[in-house]
Amino acid sequence: MTVRPPIELVCPAGSLPALKTAIDHGADCVYLGFKDATNARNFTGLNFDPAQMREGIAYAHARSRKVLLALNTYPQAGNWSSWTAAIDRAAEFGLDALILADPGLMAYAAKTHPGLRLHLSVQGSATSYEAINFYHERFGIQRAVLPRVLSLAQVENVIANSPVEIEVFGFGGLCVMVEGRCALSAYATGESPNCNGACSPGKHVRWEDTPQGMETRLNGILIDRFAEGERAGYPTLCKGRFEVNDETYYALEEPTSLNTLELLPELARIGIRAIKIEGRQRSPAYVTQVTKVWRAALDKLRAGPESFTVLPAWMAELNKVSEGQAHTLGAYYRPWK
């Protein structure tokens, strides 16, 4: 019987303090991005300049942990060289892997830096082993991050039919749409996750106190309206309240977070290689809390999957940092669909 390596815990590092706290609290890997449109969390005040990235890599490597670079937006003809320059810098800095979505960039990376490990980003929208194996055969990708659309049985089927390591989202903001295939933000604001690296970008957001309540708008479009005492959420457009056939409700998804802690033994059984925690846009305090809980859970799982149970204290801790203090199993759980 082959012994599987333990599941890696992949934590978000939106800043150097977040990176350090993730490493200090037990992340096996952190993922980060440059301060520009080459990554899908291109928000003001986030991400790394070259000096910070060097420092972060040194900090992680000194503790035998890995640093993954997300270059997971799609370059265009006019700005192609910014993305290839980022790949060249990554090779020079000694990052442990690149997380890419664009096939053209993968071809560039595989040819120019054949020693560099490649992961397929969730933005690549590969939901089947046929798609994942395409990237493996052509560019030698060694890991793929699955979009949050498959049930557990479907994830298992992907793993059984691909030589590529599979990473899944375990916790954090839940993208309701297939990542890399969503133009809702571009439709409302002109800026898209695919090309600009941001969904529902802050510069288009407006909060307005009105006689009807607090209103949140995205580029002028009313996303939600909150009664007195109700906490006004960020106007991410798929998590707003809208009218459909005269009924007002969260027509696409409630503001809630994905939390798969209770699925851990199943995820281990089907052979996932890594668990990703979402949230590079969140604070170091969030990273600390979430990393601590997931480290404890993965250690407990490693000690014996048969005796694994989810501690109520873990759930309480995670719910505190969840959107709307609520959580869901998302598509892993069929009835959610």
Partner 1 sequence: MKLALGPLLYYWPRQSVLDFYAGLADSPVDSVYLGETVCSRRHELRLDDWFEVGHMLAAAGKEVVLSTQGLIESESDLKALRRIVRQTDFRVEANDMGAVRLLAEAGVKDWVAGPTLNIFNPHTLQLLIDTGATRWAVAPELSGATLAELRAGLAAPIETEVYAYGRLPLAHSARCFTARHFNLQKDTCEFRCLSIMDGITLRTREGEPFLTLNGVQTQSARVHNLLGDLPAVRAHSEVLRISPQGADTARVVALFRAALDGDTTPAEALAASRAWMVAEPCNGFWHGRAGVEQYVAA
The string of DSSP letters for 56-83 reads HHHHHHHTT-EEEEEE-S---GGGHHHH
User: Which residue number, 56 or 233, has a Cβ lying nearer to partner 1?
Assistant: 233
Taking the complex as a whole, the smallest distance from the CB of residue 183 to partner 1 amounts, in Å, to 5
Answer yes or no: are the C-beta atoms of 60 and 46 closer than 8 Å: no
| Separation between Cα atoms, residue 280 and residue 40, nearest integer Å | 10
User: Which residue number, 51 or 244, has a Cβ lying nearer to partner 1?
Assistant: 244
| Separation between Cα atoms, residue 57 and residue 19, nearest integer Å | 9
Answer yes or no: are the C-beta atoms of 119 and 141 closer than 8 Å: yes
Amino acid letter, 240: G
User: Which residue number, 131 or 310, has a Cβ lying nearer to partner 1?
Assistant: 131
| Separation between Cα atoms, residue 225 and residue 205, nearest integer Å | 14
User: Which residue number, 231 or 337, has a Cβ lying nearer to partner 1?
Assistant: 337
Residues that bind partner 1 (CB under 8 A): 74-78, 80, 101-105, 107-108, 124-131, 133-135, 137-138, 148-151, 154, 157, 176-178, 180-184, 186-190, 192, 194-195, 219, 221-225, 238, 241-245, 247-248, 251-253, 331, 334-337
Q: Tokens at residue 194, please?
A: 């695919």
Taking the complex as a whole, the smallest distance from the CB of residue 263 to partner 1 amounts, in Å, to 16
- State yes or no: 11 annotated in a binding site: no
Taking the complex as a whole, the smallest distance from the CB of residue 182 to partner 1 amounts, in Å, to 4
Answer yes or no: are the C-beta atoms of 122 and 133 closer than 8 Å: no
C-alpha to C-alpha distances, 37 to 44, 46, 279, nearest whole angstrom: 11, 12, 17
Amino acid letter, 132: I
Taking the complex as a whole, the smallest distance from the CB of residue 206 to partner 1 amounts, in Å, to 14
- State yes or no: 182 annotated in a binding site: yes
- State yes or no: 29 annotated in a binding site: no
User: Which residue number, 67 or 105, has a Cβ lying nearer to partner 1?
Assistant: 105
C-alpha to C-alpha distances, 221 to 27, 149, 157, 180, 189, nearest whole angstrom: 39, 27, 41, 23, 9
Taking the complex as a whole, the smallest distance from the CB of residue 130 to partner 1 amounts, in Å, to 3
248 beta partners: 243
User: Which residue number, 43 or 250, has a Cβ lying nearer to partner 1?
Assistant: 250
Radius of gyration of the chain measured on its C-alpha atoms: 20
Helix H or strand E segment including 299: helix 284-303
C-alpha to C-alpha distances, 127 to 149, 173, 184, nearest whole angstrom: 8, 19, 20
User: Which residue number, 79 or 309, has a Cβ lying nearer to partner 1?
Assistant: 79
Taking the complex as a whole, the smallest distance from the CB of residue 72 to partner 1 amounts, in Å, to 11
Taking the complex as a whole, the smallest distance from the CB of residue 293 to partner 1 amounts, in Å, to 26
Closest CA to 145 of 178, 122, 128: 122
Taking the complex as a whole, the smallest distance from the CB of residue 174 to partner 1 amounts, in Å, to 10
Residue the block writes with tokens 């969904």: 199
User: Which residue number, 190 or 202, has a Cβ lying nearer to partner 1?
Assistant: 190
Do β-strands 143-145 and 118-120 pair in parallel, antiparallel, or remain unpaired? parallel
The binding site for [4Fe-4S] cluster consists of 175, 182, 199, 238
